Amino acid sequence: MNAMRWAGVMPAITTPFTADDRVDEKSLHEHVDWMIRSGCTGIVPLGSLGEGATLDFDEKARVLQIAVAAAAGRVPVVSAISALSTREAVRIARKAEAVGCRGLMVLPAYVHKGPWREHSEHFSAVFDATPLSCMLYNNPIAYGVDVRAEQIREFAERHPNLHAVKESSGDSRRVTAIVDLLGERLSVFVGLDDMLLEGVAAGASGWIAGLVNALPEESVQLFEHARAGRTKEARELYSWFLPLLRLDTLPEFVQAIKVVQHLLQGNDAFARLRAPRGMVEPALFEHIVKTLRSRGFLQNERS
């Protein structure tokens, strides 16, 4: 089994695109390197924020190859595994192992709303597909599948390579329940940007983050304050950061976070989206600009 350390801030990275709708490989490589140099402890490509649902198999394989090459062994690359079918999810998992990923973040099958038995079999098939260290991703709001703490314990008993859970229900009590049932058997990661302090207080040891793509140093500092128990510093930074972190909870979270990236980095590759996803509505764009200015950014831009 290829063990890895599940802790710290791991960005669910966005995917940059060229003007002709291809993955911008140079920008992707540079972005992964920047995340690592800023203190992130892992890289998670192909998630919802990475527009994984719109990438074909060959594109996914290439994104993983670039991420692994850019990481250069400094931190693990953890491939999100999401697909319409179990067969395709297993195929992606095996490709991730082949290109050098050290972990998998396993999502429910897209669209499927069948009985729990079918969801359980899907998760198990992906866990069993490789010896890679796995994270189960629970996001009932987005995917309509809710994995409770008792069910997570059952998976942990059956699958020795299940080492972590990304908890995105929005209820910090879920973190408490998982920690209570499983102790140190699994690492729990906060999966929503605006639940970081609450999740860490409940026992989370990591954060799969979104706004980290645009503000990595601030994200790492916030997490480290929280884990170290520096309550005053954590609360002050959290309060400053929250209006931006809350963009991660919007239906248009991909567009919103990419807007922040583009405004702060100036790289057009991170402004582009894969259709049918389009640019944010003007009102949301103006809200983002206003929020950034209120936080001390874009001060040299013309109003």
Q: Is residue 279 part of a domain?
A: no
pLDDT of res. 299: 78
Q: Quick one: angle between helices 116-129 and 86-99, nearest 10? A: 20
User: Facing residues of 23 across strands?
Assistant: 17
Q: Is residue 140 part of a domain?
A: yes
What is the distance between the alpha carbons of residues 193 and 166, in angstroms, rounded to a whole number? 12
Look up the CATH number of the domain holding residue 109.
Answer: 3.20.20.70
Catalytic residues: 137, 166
For each of the chain's 303 residues, which pLDDT tens digit applies? Answer: 457 899 999 999 999 999 999 999 999 999 999 999 999 999 999 999 999 999 999 999 999 999 999 999 999 999 999 999 999 999 999 999 999 999 999 999 988 888 999 999 999 999 999 999 999 999 998 888 999 999 999 999 999 999 999 999 999 999 999 999 998 899 999 999 999 999 999 999 999 999 999 999 999 999 999 999 999 999 999 999 999 999 999 999 999 999 999 999 999 999 999 999 999 999 999 999 999 999 999 976 543
Asked if the peptide bond before residue 216 counts as cis, ω within 30 degrees of 0, the response is no
pLDDT of res. 301: 54
What is the distance between the alpha carbons of residues 138 and 141, in angstroms, rounded to a whole number? 9
Counted domains in the chain: 1
Q: Is residue 3 part of a domain?
A: no
pLDDT of res. 302: 45
Give me the phi and psi of 250, to 5 degrees please.
-80, 155
Read out DSSP for 170-204? S-HHHHHHHHHHHTTSSEEEE-SGGGHHHHHHTT-
Read out DSSP for 86-107? HHHHHHHHHHHHHHT--EEEEP
Q: Is residue 75 part of a domain?
A: yes
- pTM equals 0.96
Provide the 3-class DSSP secondary structure of residue 147.
coil
The residue range of the domain holding 150 is 8-230
Q: Is residue 300 part of a domain?
A: no
